Amino acid sequence: MATITERTKSEVKEIVYSFFAEECEADIEQINDNTSIINDLDGDSLMFLELIEIFKKKYNLDIELKVIGKYAVKHPVATIGQLIEMQLLIIEHENRLMELDK
């Protein structure tokens, strides 16, 4: 189980903001934690999956997409802030993510 430092939080936030700014062709200055991924950015779950792949590589995570899929259905993400929180939980708990619900 990884420890989430302030540096990790800041890295994750930066990657998520940059990713959505590029992928949704939006101005990064207009994105904040309350930005709705679907309504404001026209984003979708494919982007979410690609971000997971980026974080898997960056932090060498042992996490199956299936586990994230199950967690995401139970804890739907609507905003950029919620997505960052979920990414941090994934980095922290990896394949033990579902144990958070027990």
The reply to whether 22 sits near another protein by the rule CB under 8 A is yes
| 37 within 8 A of 80, measured Cβ to Cβ | yes
What the block records as the tokens of 54 is 């980026």
d(CA 81, CA 87): 10
36 phi, psi to nearest 5 deg = -80, 130
CB of 39 to another protein, least distance (A): 8
Of 36-65, which residues contact another protein (CB under 8 A)? 36, 38-39, 44-46, 49-50, 53-54, 57, 65
Q: How many residues bind another protein (CB under 8 A)?
A: 22
The reply to whether 70 sits near another protein by the rule CB under 8 A is yes
| 30 within 8 A of 16, measured Cβ to Cβ | no
The reply to whether 74 sits near another protein by the rule CB under 8 A is yes
Neighbouring C-beta atoms of residue 86, cutoff 10 Å: 20
| Binding-site ranges for another protein (CB under 8 A) | 22-23, 25, 36, 38-39, 44-46, 49-50, 53-54, 57, 65-66, 68-70, 73-74, 78
